């Protein structure tokens, strides 16, 4: 097993906490555009592709965790980076899924080269009629290609909702803290009308 395989296996086999794996996926995304990285290849794409090849279900669960904006905030990441990273990581996973599907099809075709397995080959490829396997494959490919953009859009909506909820919570806390006349007077005279919390944002 190569070093990449060992690292990918360790991240994907649940020997480490899922939160840690998700955090590593975020860090791989965030360092992708770093001009000081020591390689021109996409380290994140290679690692996450290998993770998906070895442990597809666990990789998808970690990716699902990345779609949770509250998780991003609790881990200390800037929620504004979530849409871009979710798009990028989803792209890496869909690339890995597409290449693994293609390898599966090729190996099945090679194994099905006997005349008596023609029926199983038709079952794999479809019956050749319109709407058969070729159309299904094209539809699957288009769906996979659309996933990163969809993930980014949904993540942006989630970030907007998260920030709105956070703002409403801040307003409610402010109202509870400065509900009496005395606290409003102190806020105005001692703090210039701006709470310490609002001033430090």
Look at residue 179 and give its three-state secondary structure: coil
DSSP 20-35: HHHHHHHHHHHTTT-T
Distance CA 120, CA 109 (A): 10
Taking the mean position of all CA atoms in its chain, how far away is CA 125? 31
Structure tokens at 123: 């079952």
Tell me the per-residue pLDDT of 145-182, one tens digit each, with 9 for 90 and over.
Answer: 777 888 888 888 888 888 898 888 888 887 787 778 88
Structure tokens at 191: 């703090």
pLDDT by residue for the chain (201 residues), tens only, comes to: 688 899 999 999 999 999 999 999 999 999 998 888 888 888 899 999 999 999 999 999 999 898 889 999 999 999 999 999 999 999 999 888 877 655 554 444 344 444 443 333 334 334 444 555 556 567 667 777 777 888 888 888 888 888 898 888 888 887 787 778 887 777 777 777 776 666 556
Kindly calculate the radius of gyration of the chain based on its CA atoms and give it in whole angstroms. Answer: 25
Q: Is 92 buried (19+), middle (13-18) or exposed (0-12) by CB count in 10 A?
A: buried
The pTM of this model reads: 0.67
Tell me the per-residue pLDDT of 106-124, one tens digit each, with 9 for 90 and over.
Answer: 444 344 444 443 333 334 3
């Amino acid at each position: 097993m190569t070093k990449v395989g060992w690292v990918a296996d360790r991240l994907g086999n649940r020997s480490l906490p899922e939160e840690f794996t998700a955090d590593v996926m975020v860090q791989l995304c965030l360092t992708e555009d770093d001009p000081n990285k020591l390689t021109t290849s996409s380290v994140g794409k290679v690692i996450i592709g290998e993770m998906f090849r070895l442990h597809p279900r666990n990789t998808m669960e970690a990716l699902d965790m990345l779609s949770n904006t509250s998780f991003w905030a609790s881990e200390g990441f800037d929620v504004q980076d979530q849409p871009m990273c979710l798009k990028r990581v989803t792209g890496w996973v869909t690339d890995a899924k597409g290449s693994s599907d293609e390898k599966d099809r090729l190996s099945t075709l090679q194994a099905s080269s006997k005349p008596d397995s023609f029926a199983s080959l038709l079952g794999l490829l479809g019956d050749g009629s319109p709407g058969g396997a070729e159309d299904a494959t094209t539809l699957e490919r288009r769906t996979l290609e659309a996933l990163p953009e969809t993930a980014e859009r949904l993540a942006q909506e989630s970030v907007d909702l998260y920030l709105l909820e956070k703002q409403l919570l801040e307003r409610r806390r402010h109202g509870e803290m400065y509900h009496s006349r005395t606290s409003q007077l102190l806020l105005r005279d001692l703090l210039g009308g701006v709470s310490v919390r609002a001033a430090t944002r």
